[in-house]
Chains A and B, each alone.
Chain A
Amino acid sequence: GESVGLHLPTLSVQEGDNSIINCAYSNSASDYFIWYKQESGKGPQFIIDIRSNMDKRQGQRVTVLLNKTVKHLSLQIAATQPGDSAVYFCAQEDSSYKLIFGSGTRLLVRP
């Protein structure tokens, strides 16, 4: 597989536990935030997004929380599965549909 980040922060969780991946963003004027999942050898895949007029949004097994006061975004994955092992990126809309990506977090799921 391909290595997308040799020095990524890594989160290791037990299968079945909940995972929380955190992200600090820089542009307080951003109106749109998004989480992507990238598996080895593949392109980033959309997970969930949220607009700045919300502080929480839920999907299937995933929840995104937005704290605009401290410019913090988090992704919660319930009942983590081996297939959730990947690198996770947060991104914020800058302008003109431009996304600014974080450096990513590697999630490892222990069986």
Chain B
Amino acid sequence: EAQVTQNPRYLITVTGKKLTVTCSQNMNHEYMSWYRQDPGLGLRQIYYSMNVEVTDKGDVPEGYKVSRKEKRNFPLILESPSPNQTSLYFCASSSGGVSPKQYFGPGTRLTVT
């Protein structure tokens, strides 16, 4: 089954404790992206990657890091999480081209206390 998976689905952590949210897709997509979703603000792009070893900032990259060492994986790293990073996070992938629709993962609910 074609899908985007994320782990963990739920995470409660404390300020400053480094964490990684994993994302994996099995569709051989070149493009991957991370979004955060907050009430009233919709989906905002954090980082994206056009291909292996190619990443770039989205609209809200501060406090986040990403890496793309393999085509299928695109982990999101929070080196020193803060309470304002409490949010719902989605990973997405796309084959690009003439129909760049993005397929979304199930989401990761992060709470930073």
Contact = CB atoms under 8 A, between A and B. Distances in A.
Interface of A: 2-7, 32, 34, 36, 41-46, 49, 51, 89, 93, 96-99, 101-104
A26 to B, nearest CB: 13
Contact of A49 (B41, B101, B107): B101
B96 interface: yes
Secondary structure at the A interface, as helix, strand, loop or mixed, is loop
Bin chain B's interface residue count: 20 to 34
A43 B105 contact: yes
A67 to B, nearest CB: 21
Contacts of B33: 97-98
Given A42-B107, A43-B92, A43-B106, 14 more contacts: A2-B107, A4-B88, A5-B42, A6-B40, A43-B107, A44-B43, A46-B101, A46-B103, A96-B56, A97-B48, A101-B43, A103-B41, A103-B42, A104-B42
